[in-house]
A = this chain, B = another copy of it.
Amino acid sequence: MTLRKRLATKSLTPRKSPRQTRAEGTVAAIVEAAAHILERRGFEGFNTNAVAEKAGVSIGSLYQYFPNKDALLSALIAREAAPLLAVEKELAGIAGSRAAFQRYVIAGIQYQMRRPQLARLIDTAEKADTFSDQVMGTVTRLRAVVEKILDLKDAPIVLDKAVAAADVVAITRSLIDAAGERDKTDVDRLRRRVEGAIWGYLTSG
Contacts and interface: CB of A to CB of B under 8 A. Distances in A.
Interface stretch (A41-49, A76-84, A101-109): A41-49
A178 B170 contact: yes
Contacts of A1: 44
Interface residues of A, number: 42
A2 interface: yes
Contact of A175 (B8, B170, B196): B170
Given A8-B8, A44-B6, A171 B197 contact: yes
12 contacts: A2-B45, A3-B41, A3-B44, A42-B128, A166-B178, A167-B197, A171-B171, A171-B197, A173-B174, A196-B203, A199-B200, A200-B204
Given A196-B201, A197-B200, 19 more contacts: A2-B44, A3-B41, A3-B45, A4-B8, A6-B44, A8-B8, A43-B128, A163-B182, A166-B182, A170-B177, A174-B174, A193-B201, A193-B205, A196-B203, A196-B204, A197-B198, A197-B201, A199-B200, A200-B200
Interface of A: 1-4, 6, 8, 41-45, 120, 124, 127-129, 163, 166-167, 170-171, 173-175, 177-178, 181-182, 184, 192-193, 195-205
